[in-house]
Structure 1
Amino acid sequence: MAEISYPFNVDNANGGTAVVSQTQWQSMAHMWGGDRVDFQLTSTTYTTLPFEGRVLNSRLVEVQPGKAFVGGFYYQLTSPQSVAVPENPGDKPRMDLVVIQADISKGSVNLAVRTGTPGATPVAPQPRRQAGGIWEMPLYEVSAGARNGPIALTPCAPFDVPAPAAYPWNMAAGLKYMPVGTFVMDMDSNTSDTQYEGFKSRDGYTVSRTLGKSLSYTPSIVGGQSPSAPYRVGRFRWIAPNTVFFSASIRNITNTDLRVSKGNWVYGITLPEPANGKTGQVVSGIIDNGSTAAGLPNVVDLKLKISRGNTASTAYMWMPGTKATNGLDALTVIPRKSEITISGTYEAAQFKE
């Protein structure tokens, strides 16, 4: 029959079957989740983990108890088990792999060693993943020294993490009660903000990325005369944990050059989110100055410095020097009929370092 489906209560003429073979079970069950150790990583530190391994008597690898899901089958090791790493008598090292191996022909899941090929820069064999045949999940890379030299283990087993969750709104409040390692989405079902993803790490809560439209903000001009609010437009989005991309447009549509106020010496622009000030940061911009007002060129290159400090909410603007050609001067004027365009990426201060 061309169409087969399972499992149903009884066999039927439409291709539905009740009995599921081992191969059919694996074809179905491995779709439920990826291979992983049945242990969620929700703590900030660990002293022991399932399937801890150590080398015994030069060639034996002892593996401690643990549970895992491998190729659609569940595996449980209830007491320490040892597997032998074959000798490597040649003059080149070798990389092997200790795996949990599901073998349909045996009808069981067991520990095994996959032997690599000796070489000057040896590479461990890839785990086999064949539904209906052999399916393997790696536990350890084994470095087998040349001339039967000592072996060493490098753990490479995948572990489980908390399942992602979603909130219709107010995600930050709910995420406080989720375990470390959880990704959560705010679906913004009340349309008061935007759709975004958050992550609860060992360092605390952070927005990991904006999923919907960018957010808007009205940048303020610091240090002097400023265009009115409709001519100060900004956009931003979280592109990674604690990382913001933003852009801003500042237009002076008047016939008057705007200048820094008395007592100030440089113009600044506020950021959409406070920046990490551990080192200081730099973003870029330009001034479109078609009328060459204020004695500046048609287009002026800008560098914006986010100063070093605990947190910083302002980026100060600098332009190529008018006297020292290799230096920068403080921006002290926004020319009439000009537009400042700024964009860049910076590290935010969500963790309050």
Structure 2
Amino acid sequence: MAEISYPFAEANDTGGSQMVSQVQWQAMAGMWGGDRVDFALTSESYSGASLPFSSRVINGRTVEIQPGRAWVGGFYYQLTAAATVTIEANPTDKARKDTIVLRADVVKGSVNLAAVKGQPSASPIAPQPQRNPGQVWEMVLYEVDVPPKDGAITPSGQAPFKMPPPVSTPWNTRSASTFQQVGTFLYDLDNNGGDTQYEAFVGRDGYVVTRHFGKSRPYTPSLVNARSVPSSGVTLAGRWRWVAPGVVYFSVNISNATSKPIENTGGSAALGFKLPQTADGSTGQVFTGLLQNLDYNSNMPNFMDVQGYCFKGNGAQHVTMFVPNLSSLKEGLDTLRVIPAKSEIIFSGMYEARVFG
């Protein structure tokens, strides 16, 4: 029959099957999740010996594996007492990389520890695990460095571990995160429509938004050190979004459509604009923008670079703007002290925000 489905309470003539073969079970169980050790890494730190399937080398070439549980190729495996695998000697003058795997053998009908021998080489590469449904499926626990001339072997852990399942919240995601385990992803579905849909992570460093979904968020890039901003004719428009943990993308348009310039508060005070999130001040951060001034107002060019700078320190809430000296390139950059009439400034880019303090 072309249509086969399982498992049902009883077999029928429309393709439904009651019994499930090992091959059918593997195909079905593989949909539940990939290979992994059945242990969630929810603590901020672990010692190697505290993890399932921890290892130590005994008698030179024997690796002792401690108890653990795992899901391998659609089958569950438990090691209830310490077991050993032997790494074959390497008398050659070239190094080798072996692996220690959990091998699900469908024909044999069991999952067992096994050592897989690599090839000696000047640049050795560990053998890739077999992944053949219905036959042999392997999950690597350790890569083993096997030096030439029977040198001392060194296993290094390579096993994938289970992690806490992701959760979604209709709202209050930040406060809900305090009740989740370390290593949990949360999704704010914004079911009350008051914010933006986003993904967050509870990690060793604390809670952090990892990325926004959907539309970017509007904000007003208020001017800093501006003496007088006309109540009409000036547009301060900004968009922003989290694009990675602690990383913001933003774009800003400062448009002065009036016939009067926007001046600074006096002296050499630099005009600036507010950021959507406080910038990290560990190193200081630099931004690039443009000034479009088609009428050459305020004796400034029609099109020129504007450099933005967030000073090194505890964090900056605004970008300070600088432009090339109008008289001499030798003078470098000067603080921007005026936004000409009928001009606009555009900035866009990414920066690291001060998330963790």
**Equivalent-residue separation in structure 2 for 1:215 and 1:4 (angstroms):** 49
Distance verdict in 2 for CA 1:325–1:306, change over 3 Å: same
Q: Secondary structure at the match of 1:31?
A: helix
Give the structure 2 partner of residue 35 of structure 1. 35
Q: How big is each residue's C-alpha offset from its partner over 1:136-158, in whole Å with a ceiling of 9 and x where there is no partner? A: 11100001111222211111000
How far the C-alpha of 1:337 sits from its partner, in A, is: 0.4
Give the structure 2 partner of residue 46 of structure 1. 46
Give the structure 1 partner of residue 348 of structure 2. 343
* Equivalent pairs, count: 352
How far the C-alpha of 1:20 sits from its partner, in A, is: 0.7
* Residue pair 1:143, 1:153 contacting (<8 A) in 2 also: yes
Give the structure 2 partner of residue 133 of structure 1. 135
**Equivalent-residue separation in structure 2 for 1:227 and 1:320 (angstroms):** 26
* Residue pair 1:227, 1:250 contacting (<8 A) in 2 also: no
**Equivalent-residue separation in structure 2 for 1:32 and 1:342 (angstroms):** 46
**Equivalent-residue separation in structure 2 for 1:311 and 1:241 (angstroms):** 17
Letter of the 2:34 counterpart? G
Give the structure 2 partner of residue 177 of structure 1. 179
Matched, 1:253 2:253: no
Q: Secondary structure at the match of 2:3?
A: coil
Give the structure 2 partner of residue 6 of structure 1. 6
Give the structure 1 partner of residue 329 of structure 2. 325
Letter of the 2:109 counterpart? G
Letter of the 2:78 counterpart? Q
Matched, 1:151 2:156: no
In the alignment, structure 1 segments of 5+ residues that lack a partner are none
Segment of structure 1 superposing worse, 201-210 or 227-236: 227-236
How far the C-alpha of 1:227 sits from its partner, in A, is: 5.2
Q: How big is each residue's C-alpha offset from its partner over 1:154-174, in whole Å with a ceiling of 9 and x where there is no partner? A: 110000111001011121111
Letter of the 1:344 counterpart? G
Give the structure 1 partner of residue 311 of structure 2. 307
How far the C-alpha of 1:323 sits from its partner, in A, is: 3.6
**Equivalent-residue separation in structure 1 for 2:26 and 2:221 (angstroms):** 57
**Equivalent-residue separation in structure 1 for 2:348 and 2:158 (angstroms):** 40
**Equivalent-residue separation in structure 1 for 2:266 and 2:111 (angstroms):** 78
**Equivalent-residue separation in structure 2 for 1:174 and 1:292 (angstroms):** 54
Give the structure 1 partner of residue 105 of structure 2. 103
* Residue pair 1:66, 1:78 contacting (<8 A) in 2 also: yes
* Residue pair 1:223, 1:264 contacting (<8 A) in 2 also: no
Superposed counterparts of 1:159-174, under 5 Å: 159-174=161-176
Q: How big is each residue's C-alpha offset from its partner over 1:176-215, in whole Å with a ceiling of 9 and x where there is no partner? A: 1100111001011111111101111111111110012100
**Equivalent-residue separation in structure 1 for 2:56 and 2:213 (angstroms):** 44
* Residue pair 2:268, 2:335 contacting (<8 A) in 1 also: no
**Equivalent-residue separation in structure 2 for 1:104 and 1:61 (angstroms):** 25
**Equivalent-residue separation in structure 2 for 1:228 and 1:116 (angstroms):** 74
Letter of the 1:250 counterpart? I
Q: How big is each residue's C-alpha offset from its partner over 1:262-306, in whole Å with a ceiling of 9 and x where there is no partner? A: 255111110001111111111111001111111111111011001
Matched, 1:273 2:284: no
**Equivalent-residue separation in structure 2 for 1:321 and 1:61 (angstroms):** 69
* Residue pair 2:66, 2:81 contacting (<8 A) in 1 also: yes
Q: How big is each residue's C-alpha offset from its partner over 1:108-155, in whole Å with a ceiling of 9 and x where there is no partner? A: 100001111111101001111111011111100001111222211111
**Equivalent-residue separation in structure 1 for 2:15 and 2:106 (angstroms):** 24
Q: Secondary structure at the match of 1:29?
A: helix
In the alignment, structure 2 segments of 5+ residues that lack a partner are none
Identical aligned residues as a percent:
50
**Equivalent-residue separation in structure 1 for 2:183 and 2:350 (angstroms):** 25
Q: Secondary structure at the match of 1:154?
A: strand
**Equivalent-residue separation in structure 2 for 1:278 and 1:324 (angstroms):** 32
**Equivalent-residue separation in structure 2 for 1:330 and 1:153 (angstroms):** 58
How far the C-alpha of 1:80 sits from its partner, in A, is: 0.9
Give the structure 2 partner of residue 284 of structure 1. 288
Segment of structure 1 superposing worse, 316-325 or 20-29: 316-325
Letter of the 1:42 counterpart? T
**Equivalent-residue separation in structure 1 for 2:65 and 2:229 (angstroms):** 68
Letter of the 1:6 counterpart? Y
How far the C-alpha of 1:310 sits from its partner, in A, is: 1.1
Q: Secondary structure at the match of 2:31?
A: coil
Segment of structure 1 superposing worse, 258-267 or 213-222: 258-267
Q: Secondary structure at the match of 1:23?
A: helix
Letter of the 2:318 counterpart? T
Instruction: Indicate which of 212, 215, 218 corresponds to 1:213.
Output: 215
Give the structure 2 partner of residue 63 of structure 1. 65
